[in-house]
A and B are shown apart, each in its own frame.
Chain A
Amino acid sequence: MGDVADIKPDSILDVKGLCCPMPVVKAKKAIDGLESGQIMEIVGTDAGSKGDIPAWAKRAGHEFIGSTEEDGGEVFHFFVKKG
């Protein structure tokens, strides 16, 4: 996989402003609507998600591709490929 910033997601989930447990709960709901192999981008502001989203993806059978940060670490973008 090349640069994470070049990934074109099939869907984008906005969980900005939400805190634990909602980013993971909403990610699970949203990825249920995708096909296997499709990529979901999760955009959030919860710093705890940096650990939670990769752990969720691994446990739920998806592939965590990577993440980027912007606004000096205030906003996070996570990329997950549905398993």
Chain B
Amino acid sequence: MADRLAIIASKGTLDMAYPPLILATTAAAMGMEAGIFFTFYGLNIVNKKKYHKLQVAPIANPAMPMPVPNIIGTLPGMTAMATKMMKGMMGKANLPTIPELISICAETDVKLWPCQMTMDVMSIAPEDLIDEADNTCGAGAFLDYAADASMSLFI
């Protein structure tokens, strides 16, 4: 049986969308099976209206490349500004965009499972999600997949 990577993506910010997608696409390229379970804010990564405009917030984030004092971070427009700066740096490094990584997931058979419970709680309809993430999943189904995985990550 091929090695298997099972990931839970629970965060919906731009910076936290990258690790699950990078690891899953790389695993697929290495001949492993990979599946990502998108739960809570992680669902934004497969939300049609949101996945191309995920943001990174400077407030309460001392790890920003150019740290912003929290009181400044609360000002309107600061999240947009931090996101623009981060995207500029990512563009300079030629990092693929989130939609590009999702396309690679689809091409390489990485499974993308939206969490049914999160969809119910947040009133998200299946048509709000990208076509690549059409199979909703619950905790039981994910655990069944993860029980046979050699690597399981919570991100």
Residue of A nearest to B23 (CB): A21
A47 located at the interface, meaning its Cβ lies under 8 Å from any Cβ of chain B in the complex:
no
| Chain A residues closer than 8 Å to B95, beta-carbon distance | 19
How many residues of A are in contact with the other chain, CB < 8 A?
Answer: 17
A72 located at the interface, meaning its Cβ lies under 8 Å from any Cβ of chain B in the complex:
no
B22 touching A17 by the CB < 8 A rule? no
| Chain B residues closer than 8 Å to A60, beta-carbon distance | 29-31
Chain B interface: which size bin? 10 to 19
With A17-B94, A18-B94, A19-B93 as known contacts, state yes or no: A24 contacts B31, CB within 8 Å.
Answer: no
Residue of B nearest to A45 (CB): B94
With A20-B22, A21-B22 as known contacts, state yes or no: A28 contacts B94, CB within 8 Å.
Answer: no
B26 located at the interface, meaning its Cβ lies under 8 Å from any Cβ of chain A in the complex:
yes
With A18-B94, A19-B95 as known contacts, state yes or no: A25 contacts B25, CB within 8 Å.
Answer: yes
| Chain A residues closer than 8 Å to B59, beta-carbon distance | none
| Chain A residues closer than 8 Å to B96, beta-carbon distance | 21-22
Residue of B nearest to A17 (CB): B94
* B154 CB, nearest partner CB in chain A, Å: 20
Residue of A nearest to B95 (CB): A19
- Give me 10 A-to-B residue pairs in the complex whose CB atoms sit less than 8 angstroms apart, sorted by A's number: A18-B94, A19-B95, A21-B22, A24-B29, A27-B29, A28-B30, A29-B29, A52-B26, A59-B30, A59-B31
